[in-house]
Amino acid sequence: MIEPLLKAEHLFKSFHKNDTKLEILKDVSMEINRNESICIMGSSGAGKSTLLQILGTLDTADQGELKFEGQSLQNLNDEELSLFRAEKLGFIFQFHHLLNEFNVLENVLMPFWIRGLDPDITYAKALLEQVGLSNRIDHFPTQLSGGECQRVALARALVKKPALILADEPTGNLDSQNGSLIQQLLFDLQKESSAALVVVTHDENMARRFSKKMKLVDGHWAR
């Protein structure tokens, strides 16, 4: 039997606001396989982004377990989790979170520098060419459009060839033309890299392109 790339088992998550306990995730389990593309949908407040943060170890569940390639992530310390994210995961958010003091190429190379590694400049430039920004590598984020910034963020997420790409509303802040372009690039680059892809989106048209569609309703998977 082939081990899932990432396995989440019985995740629970709640937040406290004043004297009220808000239950966000209620016994959520899922498996993510290599090369698979999964779309997570649901209304606002259903727990989609919280689940994605937990899958990416940017947040922790109150209960439950995460396993990556069969190994539990529960006992890793902050430094070990940071190394795990840097080596295995690529993140894309609705807002690109580029660093304005660095140019396009430098932003894409940032995952290497954060870990003190020698950057793969050749691959970074190849990615920027694939996303149509080879003529913008010396520009700064403030000189780019929103769609161009999101393409830089896409290249940055993939530059270290992650096994799993996690994207939270990657086209939600873009017009339809740029949104369609980012969608196509995301699927093309995912297939080329053989990475698994998990995307949170409200976009029904985008959702149809995934190999698996899942929906959260009130902290549970819809049946």
pLDDT digits (tens, 9 = 90+) for 35-66: 899 999 988 778 888 999 999 999 999 999 99
Query: Which strand ranges, in their side-by-side order, compose the sheet holding 6-17?
Result: 20-32, 6-17, 63-68, 71-72
- Which of 160, 163, 162, 159 is closest to 3 using CA atoms? 163
Domain 6-221 adopts which CATH fold?
Answer: Rossmann fold (3.40.50)
pLDDT digits (tens, 9 = 90+) for 61-100: 999 999 999 899 988 898 899 888 888 998 888 777 899 9
Q: What is the pLDDT of residue 186?
A: 81
Higher local confidence (pLDDT), 149 or 17: 149
Q: What is the pLDDT of residue 151?
A: 87
Which of 26-35, 147-156, 192-201 reaches the highest mean pLDDT? 26-35
Mean pLDDT of the chain: 88
Q: What is the mean pLDDT of residues 18-32?
A: 88
User: Would the pLDDT of 178 be above 80?
Assistant: no
pLDDT digits (tens, 9 = 90+) for 136-171: 999 999 999 888 888 898 889 888 889 999 998 877
Whole-number Cα distances in Å, 33 to 37, 39, 194: 9, 13, 11
CB 199 within 8 A of CB 210: yes
Q: What is the pLDDT of residue 201?
A: 86
Residues 6+ apart with CB under 8 A from 171: 150, 178, 179, 180, 182, 183, 201, 203, 206
Higher local confidence (pLDDT), 118 or 175: 118
User: Would the pLDDT of 218 be above 90?
Assistant: no
pLDDT digits (tens, 9 = 90+) for 87-97: 899 888 877 78
Higher local confidence (pLDDT), 172 or 68: 68
Q: What is the pLDDT of residue 1?
A: 64
